[in-house]
Amino acid sequence: MSEAEVKMVLPENAFEKLPEDEKNNEFIAMKSRSYFQDVWFQYKKNKLAMVSLVFIIIMILMAIFMPMFSRYSYEAQDLANPNALPSAAHWFGTDKFGRDIFIRIMYGARISLSVGFAAAAINLVIGIVWGGMCGYIGGRFDMILMRIVDIIYSVPTLLYVILIMLIFGSNMFSVLLAICISSWVGLARQVRAQVMSQKEQEYALAAKVLGASDMRILFRHLVKNSIGPIIVNTTLMVPSAIFTEAFLSFVGIGISIPMASWGTMANEAKNMLFSAPLQMVWPVSAICLTMLALNFIGDGLNQALDPKKRSR
Amino acid sequence: MSEKPILSVRNLKTYFDVTKGLFSKKQIVKAVDDVSFDVMPNETFGLVGESGCGKTTLGRTIVKLYDPVEGSIEFMGKDIANLKGAELKAYRKDMQMIFQDPYASLNPRMTVGEIIKEPMIIHNIYNTDAEREERVVELLRIVGLKPDHIRRYPAEFSGGQRQRIGIARALAVNPKFIVCDEPISALDVSIQAQVINLLENIQKEMGLSYLFIAHDLSMVKHISDKIGVMYLGHMVEMGKSEDVYHRPLHPYTTALLSAIPIPDPDVAKAKSRILLEGEIPSPINPPAGCPFSTRCPKATERCHKEMPQPIEVGGRMVACHLYER
């Protein structure tokens, strides 16, 4: 085709010059968000999870500050005023010894929440280190450590919980030990699976070629990239630890009286179930609401962290 | 030859144990089997072959991601096959790698700045973060990205841009040698040319040597000074890229070359394509004799029994019985 022919097929005014400002095609308009900014952005969209988060934060603040400023204490008895119904003086009423139930619930929240979060934190650390090393090193080392995990997993939890309680006595430390000794294995398995799938990725190989130490590759690269499911799992561990503590206290091998735990309070209230049923309602609803809220938070995080589960 | 090679690989063997279970028969994949070649300073050595022929394993053995079973890798006059600890770290500073998949080779949780800075932190190249930052900006400029990209995450970039980030990361430690493991095969054709030109410019400016791995012979011919053709873990032919491309000796190279599409239908019709029969044999259970004998159109009785040794024919190397006298 000659130039004249081209001009006939394509008249000169068929094309227009692109304005200068549209030529900048390398420009990225969207604001850059870090991983956690993005997660928070997604999390905020979930109303139920936001309400739950606010609930738990209020609960934590109340558990910390209420007992400081209250005129009642968890153990002070007022035998002249037992089994009182809720009133302005005693918001949730009093129990059979005349102790203020509201403040006891707050003390119970202290124990429950600290047991829950401490157990989750301990599990997180042990799970990441154990599972991370297994997944990263692999081979015989992995074989031996994972068989230990299997053994721990196969012993009934209640069995060594009772043994621990017998040996260390009924206190917060032994409750924590009893919860942690078995629940980290699930997390360790998960971390191991994540690390194993990540370590063959090219970015991990690239870090190795760059001369990064094994510790750096494992924690800076592999664990950092598997943090999503790990966080979800850890969040869901909090309610299960709270439940275990309440259960142990209820059957009488957890926190011992007169310390107030939601479990012990429910236990004490069960004798009064027919004469003062409200006394049972308070600790049980405290357990229920807390567990629900924490589960909703876990759910919300799960959605926010996993792009596949996001709703548009 | 007056110049000494920067990288000299001799009889390199990398095997993997793929035995499953405790009691089954021992199975070994001979991914790289008895490979030797030299790379001169400022030169590009192209490595081609079909998927699974061991070219990536060879590249990864050279950067010490895998340990060789036997043989030597001499880098600047020093055998690095069994380096450990501090010496290995020093070697990693001189020998870098560019990866195949620009989507998988950058940590998605790190910003571009953090990714490029990491090698400098590992090797303690600069003292302050400001100096590192300055260097990152300079590197971004070299690879054709903008300074304001430094705070962004890899997910915000296209494949070609990410490959540039990967190149900047490899350059951060001022290496002398870069193994490019199919750096362009995951990219669009139009972007491939850009990345190739970038690699060539960097080579000229910084005096680098490349080991360029690819399965696209025409692209390799364009960038390489020498080409090595691999088949089933063996180097079957090696020589100057012009020679190998225009006058292939080994039947496998001939078949590979005939598979290159030609952008002219008339020429393409006239050209006869050599179609290879069958699949590439399993490297667990390689055929006796010449590894290519099962698919070779010119195979003789001898090829099925005897392994051809590399011989020199007209200044290049070929491992084939057809050229023995």
- Give the per-residue pLDDT at A308: 67
CATH 3.30.540.10 for the B7-248 domain, yes or no: no
- Give the per-residue pLDDT at B226: 92
Q: What are the structure tokens assigned to B170, written together?
A: 């490899």
A80 versus B34: the higher-pLDDT residue is B34
Q: What percent of chain A has pLDDT over 90?
A: 19
Q: Which residue of A has its CA nearest to B150?
A: A32
State residue B15 phi and psi, 5-degree precision: -115, 150
Residue B321 amino acid letter: H
Determine whether the interchain pair B107/A225 forms a contact, defined as Cβ–Cβ distance below 8 Å: yes
Determine whether the interchain pair B92/A209 forms a contact, defined as Cβ–Cβ distance below 8 Å: yes
- How is B2-17 classified by DSSP, letter by letter? -SPPSEEEEEEEEEEE
- Give the per-residue pLDDT at B306: 84
**pLDDT, tens digit, for every residue of A159-203?**
888 888 888 887 788 888 888 888 888 899 999 999 998 888 889
Cα distance between residue A206 and residue A200, in whole Å = 10
Determine whether the interchain pair A211/B118 forms a contact, defined as Cβ–Cβ distance below 8 Å: no
Q: How far is B95 from chain A (nearest CA, A)?
A: 8
> For testing the chain A interface, which of B118, B124, B148, B178 should be mutated: the one with the most A CBs within 10 Å?
B118
> For testing the chain B interface, which of A25, A200, A205, A209 should be mutated: the one with the most B CBs within 10 Å?
A209
Q: What are the structure tokens assigned to B189, written together?
A: 């054709």
Question: A-chain residues within 8 Å CB-CB of B57?
Answer: none
- Give the per-residue pLDDT at B139: 93
Determine whether the interchain pair B93/A208 forms a contact, defined as Cβ–Cβ distance below 8 Å: no
Determine whether the interchain pair B63/A209 forms a contact, defined as Cβ–Cβ distance below 8 Å: yes
pLDDT band at A28 (very low <50, low <70, confident <90, very high): low
What value does the mean pLDDT of chain A take?
Answer: 83
Cα distance between residue A217 and residue A212, in whole Å = 6
Would you say B277 and B292 are in contact if contact means Cβ atoms under 8 Å apart? Answer: no
Comparing CB atoms, the residue among A26, A211, A221 nearest residue B122 is: A211
- Give the per-residue pLDDT at B284: 80
Determine whether the interchain pair A212/B88 forms a contact, defined as Cβ–Cβ distance below 8 Å: no
Question: A-chain residues within 8 Å CB-CB of B122?
Answer: 210-213, 216
Task: List Cα–Cα distances, B174 to A211, B92, B134, B213, in angstroms.
Answer: 14, 11, 15, 21
Residue A115 amino acid letter: V
Q: How far is A228 from chain B (nearest CA, A)?
A: 11
Size of the A and B interface in Cβ pairs below 8 Å = 71
- How is A47-84 classified by DSSP, letter by letter? HHHHHHHHHHHHHHHHHHHHHHH-S--SS---TTSTTP
Cα distance between residue A245 and residue A112, in whole Å = 7
Q: Which residues are B211's β-sheet partners?
A: B45, B179
pLDDT over 90 (residue A53): yes
Q: Which residue of A has its CA nearest to B98?
A: A206
Q: What percent of chain B has pLDDT over 70?
A: 98
Q: How far is A217 from chain B (nearest CA, A)?
A: 11
Determine whether the interchain pair B96/A221 forms a contact, defined as Cβ–Cβ distance below 8 Å: no
- How is B177-229 classified by DSSP, letter by letter? EEEEESTTTTS-HHHHHHHHHHHHHHHHHHT-EEEEE-S-HHHHHHH-SEEEE
Top-tier CATH class for A39-309: mainly alpha
pLDDT over 50 (residue A312): no
* Segments making up each domain of chain B, as ranges: 7-248
Determine whether the interchain pair B152/A28 forms a contact, defined as Cβ–Cβ distance below 8 Å: yes
Q: Which residue of B has its CA nearest to A28?
A: B156
Determine whether the interchain pair B107/A224 forms a contact, defined as Cβ–Cβ distance below 8 Å: yes
**pLDDT, tens digit, for every residue of B257-272?**
888 777 777 777 776 7
Segment A75-80 shows an average pLDDT of 71
- Give the per-residue pLDDT at A267: 83
Would you say A266 and A278 are in contact if contact means Cβ atoms under 8 Å apart? Answer: no
Question: A-chain residues within 8 Å CB-CB of B101?
Answer: 202
Q: Which residue of B has its CA nearest to A212?
A: B122
pLDDT over 80 (residue A72): no
Segment A278-303 shows an average pLDDT of 88
> In chain B, which stretches have pLDDT less than 50?
1
